[in-house]
Each structure stands twice: as C-alpha cells, then as structure tokens.
Chain A
Amino acid sequence: MESSRDDFVIALRSAFLKKGTQQRFSLLSLIFFSIIFLILGSFNFKIINYVKIGITEIVYRSSFVVSVPENLIKESYLTIQNHNKLYKENENIKSELEILKAKDLLNEFIILENQRLKNIVDDYLVKSDTIIAKVLSDKGSPFLRSIIINKGSKHKINLGMVVMDGAYLVGKVVEANYLSSRVLLLSDLNSKIPVIVEPNAVFSILSGTGKNHGIIQYSKKYEDIKNESVIYTSGAGSLFKAGIPIGRMNINNLSDEKKVEFFSDFSQLKFVKVVSFKKSENK
C-alpha cells in the first residue's frame, strides 16, 4: 500500500518536474505562467494586454493565411452543392423578381412619403457611415460564434458598431484592435438584442443559440408571433437603428421554441459593412 502511494507520487512528480532533452521549461513552471496570465488578464494588467494585442495581430493575419486551404475545400464543396440547386432556384427567382419589381415601385413611394411625414412631425432622420471590411476568419467554434474582419481602430472602427451583410444585420463589433476587429454574430449564445416582430409589432429580445438560428425570448405577447413573421431591430436602448431586417420566424408546431432563421448565412460571409448611425438634422 505504502509503496504504491510512493510510486504514484514519484510518477506525478516526474510528470510535473522532469524536462525532456529538448524542453526548456518544466510543465510545472509553464502551468504557473498560464495561471499568472489568467489572473493578471482578468485584472486587465497592462503588460498582459500588450501581449494580447501583439498575439492578436499576429494570429489574425496568420489565421487568414492558414485558412486558405480549408477555405478552398469549403468553397469547392459549396460550389458543387450550389450547382445542384441552380436550375430550381433560377425558376423561383424569375417569378419572385416580377413580384419584387412591382413592390419596389410601391416602396419608393412609401419611403418618400415617410421622409415627408417625419419632417412634418419633427422626428429625426438617420445618417450612416459605412466601412466595407473583409472577413479574415470565421471561427465557428462549437462554443463561440464570431468573425474577424480586416479593419480596426485605424479605420475608425469602434466598439458596438453595427455589422451588416447587405441590408441584413449580422452582429456588432465587440473587440477593436489596431488593424482588425472581432464581430460577435447574432447566433452567439452571448448575443441578445432588442427586436420587433412584424406584423403585430411585438417587442422582444432575440437571443443567439450557438447554432445557425436564434430564438425569441422575454416577450409578453407570444401568441401574437406567427410563423413567417419578419424580425427587425426595434431601436430600443439605442443599440441599433430601428428597422434593420434580421430574419424570419420559423415556428415548429412540435416545440414551443420561437425559432428565428437569419436572412444572412453567417458561414458564407466574405465582405461585411460596418456601419455607425448618427442623427442627422432635419431639412
């Protein structure tokens, strides 16, 4: 009994302290370094922040280079998949286009009318500054959903700026480095944004799930939310401009979950628009 305990202690001590022929540090000292990094990092210690910024710039750039072969495979796979769907999609798009052309004319009239009415009731109009950024890497890890873009504080990117794919919202900037930034996607578990569900104007919160869809939470009028309803930003809390389209409700009768299918496919992002919205003076 005594000797087996001794063996355990010897094996464990050797595991922690023994250095191999090419090892510069023992495991114990490196574990000690990691813990120091963690503790000082959680207190926002200056040196650790500088180390982090340095590593971030190296990693984001090299991550883009390293991702090239995988992206090539990914793109080929998607191209083949898309080719299969092409014919059917083309037929649907043709018929949709006819309907949309008609709707577009109506929209133009409504936009002009809306601007005129806003001027009459003395409401403010929104002006936006847009920066186009390239997606360096999309780290769809099983636990965190974020992308890294090639514009940073040098290009006037600030925390909280809205990130869009065309007209659709995809997330917001949560980390702005000098030459790159991290964007937290709407699908991340930590993402929670105020939204409005139309028709019926139900105010609610859209939460990420860590998957490719979101869910509607914290609403008092769940019964008013119907399948195929469209989700827009509500503008509550001044986090986002009101009326940015996000996705469509996909309610499954078998579950109570209010699922939202995003308009934008977050796994296919190549270029995004980083937008800041400001109030502009009425004319």
Chain B
Amino acid sequence: MTGLRNKNFIKIILSKTPIILLFVSVLNDYDFNHLGLKYFSFNFSYILIFYYSLKKSESLGYTYIFIAGLFNDVVIGTPIGLSSLIYLILCVAASYLRNITLRPSLLKDCIFFLFTILIINSLLFLSLKFIFNYELNYFDQIINITFTFLFYFLFSNLFDFFESYFVSSNNAG
C-alpha cells in the first residue's frame, strides 16, 4: 500500500517536472551569469516552453505559462504582462508548428524555433525600447538569441530522454 502511494507520488512529481522547472527557471534565471562569461547568456524558459508546447502540450498548461510570465516580469523588472505575452506567442508558434507538421524532425523544429525567438525578441526589444523607454543592449540580445537557439538541440535531446526513460516508463509501470 505504501509502495503504491510512493509510486503515485513519484509519478505526479515526474509529470509536474516541466512546470516545476519553468517556475524555478523564471525565479532563478538559469543563464550561468555567475561564471562571469562576457559573451554568454541564454533563455532556458524559451526552450522549455517551446519544447513542451510542441511535443507534450498537456504537460505545461497555458495558465501556468501565463503566471510564470508574470513572475518573470517581477523578477527582472519589466512591465507586468510583457513576458506572459511573449511566452504565449511562443506557445502559439509551437502549437501552429504542431498542427502543420506531419513528420516531426529536430532540424525543422530548431529552424522554426530560431525564427520564432527572433520575432519575439524583436517584439520585446521594440516594446521595451520605444514604448516603455528601457535602455537595452542590442548585442546582448543577439548573443542571448544565438545561445538559446544552439542550446535547443541539447535540451531537446535531454527532454526527449527524460520523457522516454522517466515519464513513459513510470506511466507504463
């Protein structure tokens, strides 16, 4: 009986892992800033949201993404609602790609991801610079986009591995 309860608990934790990761990443900013690398930063939340909206849309509810966006705005100090909007546009792009894709491939996903983050970062940059009068460094944004795109390959494979070996095996068992 206790074993069954423990198994159910692990199953729940594993199924909620993407949500936990999303909130931890917006509260904590996994971008390795502490290494003090001058030309390195990436946006883990974009990768997580795009991957799970594309492959496992039931794992990451849109409402949670919306709330995570509000949290992110408070953490980094941008106008409230802006990150939510950006995250949701990312979800729209992922959902659109899911609807039109017959044979999924990582390369196509990556190219579409790059196209999407270029658009949403441009939108973010324009709105922060021209509507909300924030000073931003254009070069930092480009670096952030480049590394976010490159890291999509790595994290996509990691999430695939996690889903197939942990979540699926646990559900089957």
Contacts and interface: CB of A to CB of B under 8 A. Distances in A.
Interface in B29-85: 29-31, 33-36, 38, 41, 57-58, 61-63, 65-66, 69-71, 74-82, 84-85
A225 to B, nearest CB: 23
Smallest CB-CB A-B distances: 6 pairs: A37-B81, A15-B95, A38-B81, A34-B85, A11-B99, A189-B135
Contact of A31 (B77, B85, B96): B85
A22 B34 contact: no
Interface in B106-136: 131-132, 134-136
Given A24-B63, A27-B95, A37-B70, A141 B31 contact: yes
Contacts of B167: none
Given A15-B95, A35-B85, A142-B31, 15 more contacts: A24-B61, A27-B62, A27-B92, A34-B69, A51-B70, A52-B74, A55-B71, A55-B80, A59-B74, A67-B27, A67-B28, A140-B33, A143-B136, A144-B77, A175-B77
A125 B32 CA distance: 45
B61 A33 contact: no
Contacts of B96: 11-12, 15
Interface in A195-212: 209-212
27 contacts: A11-B99, A12-B96, A15-B93, A15-B98, A16-B95, A20-B57, A23-B57, A23-B61, A27-B91, A30-B66, A30-B84, A31-B85, A38-B80, A51-B70, A52-B74, A66-B23, A66-B28, A67-B27, A70-B34, A78-B34, A142-B33, A142-B41, A143-B76, A143-B140, A144-B78, A210-B137, A212-B36
Q: Say whether chain B's binding surface is mostly helix, strand, loop, or mixed.
A: helix
A41 B80 contact: yes
A189 B136 CA distance: 7
A197 B70 CA distance: 42
B27 A62 contact: yes
Interface residues of A, number: 60
Nearest to A21: B58
A28 B76 CA distance: 25
Interface string A126-156: 0000000000010111111010000000000
Contacts of A41: 79-81
A77 interface: yes
Nearest to B94: A15
B143 interface: yes
Contacts of B135: 189-190
A14 B143 CA distance: 33
A265 to B, nearest CB: 10
B93 to A, nearest CB: 8
